Chains A and B, each alone.
Chain A
Amino acid sequence: MKQFAYVRPATVTEAVAAAAQPGAVYLAAGTNLLDLMKGNISRPDRLVDVTHLDGLDRIERLADGSLRVGALVSNADLAYDAEFAKAYPAVAEALLSGASAQLRNAATVGGNLLQRTRCAYFYDTASRCNKRESGSGCDARDGENRTHAVLGWSDRCIATHPSDFCVPLVALDAIVEIEGKNGRREIALDELHRLPGNAPERESALEPGDLIVAVRLPPAARGFAAHARYLKVRERTSYAFAIVSAAAALRIENGKIADARLALGGVAAKPWRARAAEDVLKGVAPTADAFQEAAWRALTDAKPSGDNAYKIELARRIVMRALTLAAAGTPARIPALPASPFASTSGAIHA
């Protein structure tokens, strides 16, 4: 492996200073970063290990009813926090549908948000990839691309963001708290990931040295607990990335949808909030027709980027199903096969 410096800052301020230098990257659990380093996709000069920073591993309920999750909380600890799972069931379900138990035990909240795409050409250093090497071209465009983006892509990059966790988070208006060279700021999660446009190498709104310290769910996010689901179609029952996924959350009052949230995963370079679809649901009864209309609205702008036209139809069907499941009510317990179309079948003992 390439030689690199390893630093373990004692404070957030030191971390930011260390990571602001060229060639430095943050190391959380490393489940993505170390793979990238072993494959020579990332060749950092300096790793800034943040896993020993104090105070970033807490789940706190704030006075205004929001919830603040530290960037170092593990995916598993968050999903298994009973109060969290009760208040934000779709988020817990999404977390548990991701990766494997071993990976979830290690992976952090911050790392999950900033995990890189799984585009095979991005991982293959012999291929041209604008994201890996700006301006080199995109071998996925005419290559093996049946799992690539159908929304928000550009000719320069058709990759998707693979996170499950981010999908319900973006639906629930999650906010990202960032510590940077100029102090603390916060942005909506919806603004964290960038669409590729002409610069696919710029994946997020973060500046050098910016450290995600927490993710916050605003007070309104709790209002959907009774009707929230995450649904993920994948090529094996567990331990596979989404072909397409959807988070659906409804607030139903007197038989009408008072508020609706909908986001899609596996379709774009960011978790895809479908606001137009939400709009058609507000104020109507939760009927199949309404969901069908929402499904169409959610994919109006979709277009295939390769051999993946089926993903558009699949996405519509997933939206339809996720909304139907959400309307039926959040199950008392997270299913044994979280987010799976087989969640309701018996015989599953684990995922």
Chain B
Amino acid sequence: MPELNLTSAPAHLRHGSSIGQPLTRRDGVLKVKGEATYAADNHPPGMLFAVIAVASIAHGRVTSLDVAAAKRHPGVVDVMTPDHKPQLAIDPEIKTNPFVFRMEVLQGNEVRYANQPIAVVIAETLEAATEGAVLLAPRYETLPALVGLDAGKSYVPPVVGVGNPSENHHGDVAAGLASADKQIDATYETPAQYHNAMEPHAIVAHWNDDHLQIDMPTQGLMLSLARVAELFGIAHDKIHIRSPFLGGGFGSKGLMAGPPVLGIMAAKLVGRPVKLVLRREQMYGPVGHRAPTRQRLRIGADAEGRLTALDHHARTVSSTFDDFYEPAADASHTLYAAPAIRTSHDAVRVNTGTPLFMRAPGEATGSIALESAIDEMAWACGMDPLAFRLKNYAEVEPITGKPFSSKALRACYDQGAARFGWAKRSLRPRQMRDDAGLLVGWGMGTATFPALMFQAEARAAIRRDGTGAMEIGAHDMGQGAWTALAQIAADAVGLDIDSVNFKAGTSDLPDAGIAGGSAHTATAGAAIHSAGAAVIAKLADLATNDERSPLFGAGNTGVIARDGRLIRRDDDSRSESYSEILARAGVAEVEARGTGAPNPAAMEEYAMHAHGAVFAEVKVDPELGQIRVTRMVGAFAAGRIVNPHLVKSQLFGGMIWGMSFALHEEAITDRRSGRIMNANLGEYHIPVNADVPPLDVITVEEHDPHVNALGIKGVGEIGITGSAGAVANAVWHATGVRVRRFPIRIEELLTQR
């Protein structure tokens, strides 16, 4: 990988700091010119191609593979099977920490889900490897497949999501429901969904004696590195991972999955570099997905429309061999001020690859059910959905009683509603039509996502030539880390963005934590900020202790760093440039490290969440049932906005995803075989351009002194929440038909004319 040539072109306007500037992506030009190197673009000399053969059954055992036929095919070099593979240092079934999930790396003949890898063919060309995989012609002993939300006996998982208790309550729900004037009891279903990042999972693995070079898209360089190290029994410093760009991850590239491990094993087996890229349909199994859910909401309200109780139960699935539970009901913890709340989960085991984190895991699934139910409750109370939400506005976090670190949701409601024109909405459904006679519906939803922080470290340097450097193993999944984090870095060292050599995306840099939980900018940003402060402090020491410096003796009052100079805080006529300070001190550079981490004291005291309000307009053909979203407005309060341009893109993407959740996305599983029948982008529908309406994003100002030093809350996932419900509620408002199974299908709207 050559040195990246990042530019902030076209030239941007700068007034003071970099943070807050709407810079375009600095890697944009590289990408447009096709010069950004993604993992699969690497071709080390002597490289071979590996293709995975996957199981076509969902449950059973592989009884034979025609390895000889595959090997006879011209170009095939070797076939890796359970009987012929390099040994791993540890059993891949052992969960060494909570972020380790079981994977299939040819440890046996058992098949636990459809599309499970069962062999790897390695060949001189992709074509030969592909045909070799076909020639294996696996035979199976097939056992009945467990499919669907009623596949077996349900159980209560010990935890859901990442360590959340599966049941939670506050107040007396039974009493709250009993005392209610109005009640609803509604059950919603959401389907299995697959991440479907444009870039498939890919790896180029290259062993040089005992050193391992890996090109692989990852949202978690250090977690991946640690997992590879333990699986192959090699030291961390013998592994180097490059992941400068990801073509989307959405959670599926967060933790090490089986297929890239197979790529490393294959390279070891044949003693040559190996490239392994998943085919689109192979991404429907071994790399995680969003589990389906069935959610029952029981809500009570008094005569004035005040909630008396909120009971949210979610049924979900996990695999037969590991545990991950979509924490859907937890969405009800934070938004509405019910005096009694209960959330609970149960699950069944099915023959599926283990479900995992997918953009807003739990929040997205829970949100569409909760926002639909709140809408149903508002209607049952005869109230406007916005008025109902305002009536039940949570001044403190309902489930814990903690104050919010900041919460500008009221402003989101106000500004979003005003921009949308919500006041003109008819209370009753099926009242609005356009000129062409199409039904028009307006719906809304509240968005929320926790403001999380993980652990990260960064290294900052200031050089004698007056430039700076900032190094952190951060991840750019397309969200714009190359730009936003460099903006934070520039401010942290008091330099223009183009004078800071910002390095990210490789495992030899300080650990930036995982790019997930919408926490990457906050976490990596905090580390960068503190590394910058530390290096500036070192530089300041050099100056303020040196009597030749105009800053001599300013140690007590302090200095500030701006435009490559240190300036006395109380007298800005006294300043000195970085180069002058370093030249006189006779050092080439000063260097310092900084960390970012959650603040347990603040977390104990405050509930920390981003919020938003989404308003959607849909049109529905009254006879034919086809739906089209025609307008969406989202107003979001997410703390400090580092780059308004990138933030808007994230929120647009989230809103489109929400609309996709409500109207399009669904993995269709054959109920007998457990095979996914639409594992391709032709039939697994996501919105195309013609489906995406004009989108309007408002970022509401919010100052949060508690979440982290920079006041950043994260915007990667919140856009889905609220949006999915807003679209679903708009469909109800247009048609008067309440569909509780997502995505909403045409046939469900044909029942009424």
CA distance A340 to B690 in the complex (A): 11
Using C-beta atoms within 8 Å of the partner chain, give the interface range for chain B: 35 or more
Contact B664 A235 (CB under 8 A): yes
B572 within 8 A of A: no
The reply to whether the CB of B694 lies closer than 8 angstroms to some CB of chain A is: yes
Produce 1/0 per residue, A221-240, CB < 8 A to B.
Answer: 00000000000011111111
Q: Tell me whether A118 and B683 are in contact (CB under 8 A).
A: yes
A237-B688, A237-B690, A238-B688 known; A342-B628 Cβ under 8 A? yes
Is there contact, CB below 8 Å, between B673 and A347?
no
8 Å CB interface, A115-164 against B: 118, 120-121, 124-127, 139, 142-144, 146
The reply to whether B685 and A126 form a contact with Cβ atoms under 8 Å apart is no
Contacting residue for A235 out of B57, B673, B685, CB 8 A: B685
Is the Cβ of B688 less than 8 Å from the Cβ of A236?
yes
Selecting from A173-181, A201-209, A283-291, A313-321, the interface stretch reads: A313-321
Chain B: minimal CB distance from A237 (Å)? 4
CB of B670 within 8 Å of the partner chain = yes
Which residues of A in the span 309-351 have a Cβ within 8 Å of any Cβ on B?
Answer: 310, 313-314, 317-318, 320-321, 337, 340-342, 344-345, 347-348, 350-351
A347 touches B746 (CB 8 A): no
CA A73 to CA B696, docked complex, whole Å = 42
Counting CB contacts under 8 A, is B675 at the interface?
A: yes
Specify the chain A residue showing the minimal Cβ separation from B126.
A1
- A314 and B750 form a contact (CB under 8 A): yes
Whether A3 is near chain B, meaning CB under 8 Å from some CB there, is yes
Nearest CB of A to B460, in Å: 46
CB of B604 closer than 8 Å to a CB of A: no
Q: Which residues of B contact A121 (CB under 8 A)?
A: 677
Contact B624 A314 (CB under 8 A): yes
Would you call B209 an interface residue if the criterion is a C-beta within 8 Å of the partner chain's C-beta atoms? no
Q: Which residues of B contact A313 (CB under 8 A)?
A: 750
A127 to B57, CA, bound (A): 10
B190 contacts partner chain A, Cβ-Cβ < 8 Å: no
In the bound complex, do residue A345 and residue B438 qualify as a contact, i.e. CB atoms below 8 Å apart? yes
**Pick the contact of B626 from A125, A233, A239 — CB < 8 Å?**
A233
Q: In the assembly, what is the distance between CA of A342 and CA of B437, in Å?
A: 10
Contact partner, A237, options B57, B672, B691, B747, Cβ 8 Å: B691
Total of A-B residue pairs, C-beta within 8 Å:
107
Answer whether residue B56 sits at the interface, using C-beta atoms and an 8 A cutoff.
yes
* Residue A114 lies at the interface, judged by CB distance under 8 Å to chain B: no
Q: In this assembly, does B186 line the interface, its C-beta being within 8 Å of a C-beta of chain A? A: no
Q: State whether B664 touches A348 (Cβ < 8 A).
A: no
State in angstroms the CA–CA spacing of A2 and B690 once bound together.
Answer: 37
For residue A234, which residues in chain B have a CB less than 8 angstroms away from its CB? 626
Q: List the one stretch of B20-28, B127-135, B533-541 in contact with chain A.
A: B127-135
Interface of A is mostly: loop
By the criterion CB–CB under 8 Å, are A345 and B436 in contact?
Answer: yes
Structural contact, B626 and A341, CB atoms closer than 8 A: yes
In the complex, A243 has a CB within 8 A of chain B: yes
Interface string of B681-721 (1 = CB under 8 A from A): 00101011111011000000000000000000000000000
User: How far is A313 from B688 in the complex, measured between Cα atoms in Å?
Assistant: 27
B625 CB-CB contact with A under 8 Å: yes
CA distance A136 to B364 in the complex (A): 42
Contact B438 A233 (CB under 8 A): no
Q: How far is the CA of A313 from the CA of B673 in the complex (A)?
A: 30
**Given A120-B677, A237-B691, A345-B438, A146 contacting B623 (CB threshold 8 A):** no
A342-B626 CB under 8 A given contacts A236-B687, A236-B688, A237-B690: yes
Q: How far is the CB of A165 from chain B (nearest CB, A)?
A: 18
Contacts of B688 in A (CB 8 A): 100, 236-239
Known: A2-B131, A120-B677, A345-B438. A233 touches B690 (CB 8 A): no
Judge whether B326 is part of the interface by a CB distance below 8 angstroms: no
In the bound assembly, the distance between CA atoms of A341 and B127 in angstroms comes to 43
Shortest C-beta distance, A66 to chain B (Å), equals 34
Expressed in whole angstroms, the Cα–Cα distance for A341 and B630 within the complex equals 14
Complex CA gap A1/B683 in Å reads: 23
Q: Are B624 and A143 in contact (CB under 8 A)?
A: no
CB neighbours of B673 from chain A (8 A)? 126-127, 139
Q: Answer whether residue A11 sits at the interface, using C-beta atoms and an 8 A cutoff.
A: no
Task: Decide: B131 and A233 in contact? CB cutoff 8 A.
Answer: no
Rounded to whole Å, the gap between the CB of B750 and the closest CB of chain A is 6
Q: Output the nearest chain A residue to B628 by Cβ-Cβ distance.
A: A342
User: Shortest beta-carbon distance, A13 to chain B, in Å?
Assistant: 32
A300: which B residues are within 8 A, CB to CB? none
Please give me the residue from chain A that is nearest to B73 by CB atom: A3
Q: Residues of A contacting B74 with CB < 8 Å?
A: 3
Q: Which of B145-194 contact A (CB under 8 A)?
A: none
When the two chains form their complex, are residues A235 and B746 in contact, meaning their CB atoms are under 8 A apart? yes
Min distance, Cβ A190 to any Cβ of chain B, angstroms: 26
Say yes or no for B619: interface residue by CB 8 A criterion. Answer: yes
Contacting residues, chain B, for A347 (C-beta < 8 A): 630, 693-694
A40, A120, A143, A233: the one within 8 Å of B625 (CB): A233
> Are B690's CB and A1's CB within 8 A?
no
Partner of A126 from B131, B663, B664, B675 at Cβ < 8 Å:
B675
Which residues of B sit under 8 angstroms from A2, Cβ to Cβ? 131, 134
**Smallest CB gap from A43: residue in B:** B134
B411 within 8 A of A: no
Q: Mark B614-646, 1 if CB is under 8 A from A, else 0.
A: 000001010111101010000000000000000
Shortest CB–CB separation between residue B545 and chain A, in angstroms?
Answer: 64
Whether A345 lies near B664 (C-beta < 8 A) is no
Separation of A1 and B125 alpha carbons in the complex (Å):
10
- Our pick among B131, B624, B668, B672 for the contact of A142 (Cβ within 8 Å) is B672
Residues of chain B contacted by A341 (CB below 8 angstroms)? 438, 621, 624, 626
Q: How far is the CB of A260 from chain B (nearest CB, A)?
A: 21
* Alpha-carbon separation in the docked complex, A143 to B434 (Å): 39
Instruction: Answer whether A236 and B691 are a contact pair too, CB < 8 Å, given A143-B670, A310-B747, A345-B619.
Output: yes
Identify which of residues 229-277 in chain A touch chain B, using a CB-to-CB cut-off of 8 Å: 233-240, 243
Question: B499: CB under 8 A from chain A?
Answer: no
Given contacts A144-B668, A345-B630, A236 and B685 within 8 Å (CB-CB): yes
Q: Which residue numbers of B lie inside 8 Å of A, CB to CB?
A: 56-57, 74, 127, 130-131, 134, 434, 436, 438, 619, 621, 623-626, 628, 630, 663-664, 668, 670-673, 675, 677-678, 683, 685, 687-691, 693-694, 745-747, 750
Pairs of residues from A and B, 5 with the lowest C-beta to C-beta distance, nearest first: A126-B56, A310-B747, A238-B690, A237-B690, A120-B677
What are 6 A-B contacts with C-beta separation under 8 Å? A126-B675, A127-B675, A139-B673, A238-B689, A239-B690, A342-B621
Give 19 A-B pairs besides A340-B626, A341-B438 with Cβ atoms closer than 8 angstroms.
Answer: A2-B131, A120-B668, A124-B675, A126-B56, A143-B670, A144-B671, A233-B625, A233-B746, A236-B691, A238-B691, A310-B746, A314-B747, A321-B623, A321-B624, A337-B690, A345-B436, A345-B630, A350-B689, A351-B690
